Amino acid sequence: MIATVDTAAWLVGKSFDCAFDNFAPRLTVLSPTEMRVQATLGETNIDEVVKSAITDVRPGLVVVNWTEQNGNFVVQVQDHQNGVVHNYARMADGQVFCARGMLAPSAPV
């Protein structure tokens, strides 16, 4: 039997910057099921609200997933205690983007 895990309500209303090599998205948790994704990648600016799922693994460690309007599917393991984020994405064109970065709280925009 699989136990149901509560969503990470403690993240609602908070923003976080995910610093990867050339890419630094800002994520703002609007509710347990919605998140704002903001990023600049080259000349492309992303600013959209997406449906998301957040699951607590242990205190300070969550798994988050969402699908962007362009079809990119993203899964992150966010370790808020240690300031580390692991990103796994299947891009709409079939490419895979996996990266480890730093996770830091930021002021909501």
Q: Residue 87 has which token pair? A: 């990103």
Q: Write down the pLDDT at residue 69.
A: 93
**Number of DSSP helices (H) and strands (E) in the chain, helices first:** 0, 8
pTM (two decimals): 0.88
Note the pLDDT tens digit of each residue in 55-76: 999 999 999 999 999 999 999 9
Residue 65 to residue 73: CA distance in whole angstroms: 7
Q: Write down the pLDDT at residue 42.
A: 81
Find out whether 35 and 28 touch, Cβ atoms under 8 Å.
Answer: yes
| Three-class SS state of 9 | helix
- Check whether 109 has a pLDDT greater than 80: no
Helix, strand, coil shares of the chain, percent, nearest 5, are 5, 60, 35
